[in-house]
Amino acid sequence: EKGGFETFMLKEIHEQADAVADTIADRTVRPDGVDLPELDDELLRGATRLIIVACGTSYHAGLIGRYALEEWARIPVEMDVASEYRYRNPVVGPGDIVIGITQSGETLDTLAAMRLARERGATVIAVTNIMGSQATRDAHSTVYTRAGLEIGVAATKTFVAQVAVMYLLALRMAELRGTLTPERRTELVTRLKRIPHDIGVMLDKGSETIDRVAERHFEKEFFLYLGRHVGLPVSLEGALKLKEISYIATDAYAAGEMKHGPIALLDQDTPVVVVATDSPVLEKVISNIQEVKVRGAHVIAVATEGTDLGDNAEDTLRVPPTDWMLQPLLAVIPLQLLAYRIARLRGLNVDQPRNLAKTVTVE
Ligand code: F6R
């Protein structure tokens, strides 16, 4: 049932091209727009604010969604982890759309946050991978990810499918609200439809650099992850993957925050993973890489093929070019694989890490 792979996690990492392809398939038939018939057009057109609630990896997918929704649909977006949102007496009501992202559809805190918002008059949308799960019953409408069943405890293919749904939602809202030109929408839909191919090419290429980085650093006690803009949630997700399956302490920070504290952690030995894919903030990220390098730490960069980062990074994990806003769908993959390789070198059971459950139905 592992289809020739040594673990479910590795199999599921390799199913990510299909997870994205299936999730966007019939929703990206028009060249210049997205269709999400599960959602009411009037609702999306009239919303004054979006609030995204989720836990763990699903929260990271939501963070990427927030950048896309703000950038493309120009709508204010609020975001919180569900366990905080539900206990902070949030200001929420009619006119708000609350989006609960939950792969399993059964995460207690996310369900509670969705119910609270619904009681207060908000419209609630579930983004889930499981048909008929509790989230679909608690929400007014549901947009399904189509990643197929995920068995590994660490979320991988469900994450990319969630990110794809958030992009679809942002593009749909942008069209309804007239905030992107048809040309820009066409460009984004075209790029999005190419992502499964890009993922496939990347996975087929093999992972020599990743293996080398893993060999060099698997006995380290700490990894720092840095990113800016959509690279930040990718850093957060890469750090979470490493900590949950390899039990190595990680911290993930907005790169611009580095000099406000985390830089004190750096010494000659620290591996620092920096998401440095093409974007309008790449120059800033490169400055951060230089700051890390002068402290003697090892920089492991994730960068777009063909982009010169200077000789600042010790190792560079390359991803294919795409629209900069869509980069997370590609950039997360080397970080999943890096976490995977390190955990295997440490001899750990990646499919069932200690203390973790696939579905968290308790607080
Ligand atoms: C991380 C992971 C968890 C889940 C979180 C939310 O790899 O799997 O952080 O993302 O427990 O789960 P769902 O999406 O089912 O609500």
Pocket test for ligand 1, best of 143, 243, 351, 360 (most atoms within 8 A of CB): 360
Report pLDDT for 160. Answer: 98
Residue 195: its H or E element:
helix 182-204
- The residues assigned a catalytic role are 358
What's the predicted TM-score (pTM) here?
A: 0.98
Report pLDDT for 310. Answer: 85
Point out the ligand 1 atom lying closest to the alpha carbon of residue 57: 10
The string of pLDDT tens digits covering residues 152-176 is 999 999 999 999 999 999 999 999 9
Neighbours of 201 (CB within 10 A): 12
353, pLDDT greater than 90: no
321, pLDDT greater than 90: yes
> In three state form, how does the secondary structure of the chain look?
CCCCCCCHHHHHHHCHHHHHHHHHHHHHCCCCCCCCCCCCHHHHHHCCEEEEEECHHHHHHHHHHHHHHHHHHCCCEEEEEHHHHCCCCCCCCCCEEEEEECCCCCCHHHHHHHHHHHHCCCEEEEEECCCCCHHHHHCCEEEECCCCCCCCCCCCHHHHHHHHHHHHHHHHHHHHHCCCCHHHHHHHHHHHHHHHHHHHHHHHCCCHHHHHHHHHHCCCCEEEEEECCCHHHHHHHHHHHHHHHHCCEEEEEEHHHHHHCHHHHCCCCCEEEEEECCCCCHHHHHHHHHHHHHCCCEEEEEEECCCCCCCCCCEEEEECCCCHHHCHHHHHHHHHHHHHHHHHHCCCCCCCCCCCCCCCCCC
The string of pLDDT tens digits covering residues 71-118 is 999 999 999 999 999 999 999 999 999 999 999 999 999 999 999 999
Identify the CA nearest to 240 among candidates 68, 22, 60.
60
Q: How far is the CA of 56 from the centre of ligand 1 (A)?
A: 5
Point out the ligand 1 atom lying closest to the alpha carbon of residue 128: 14
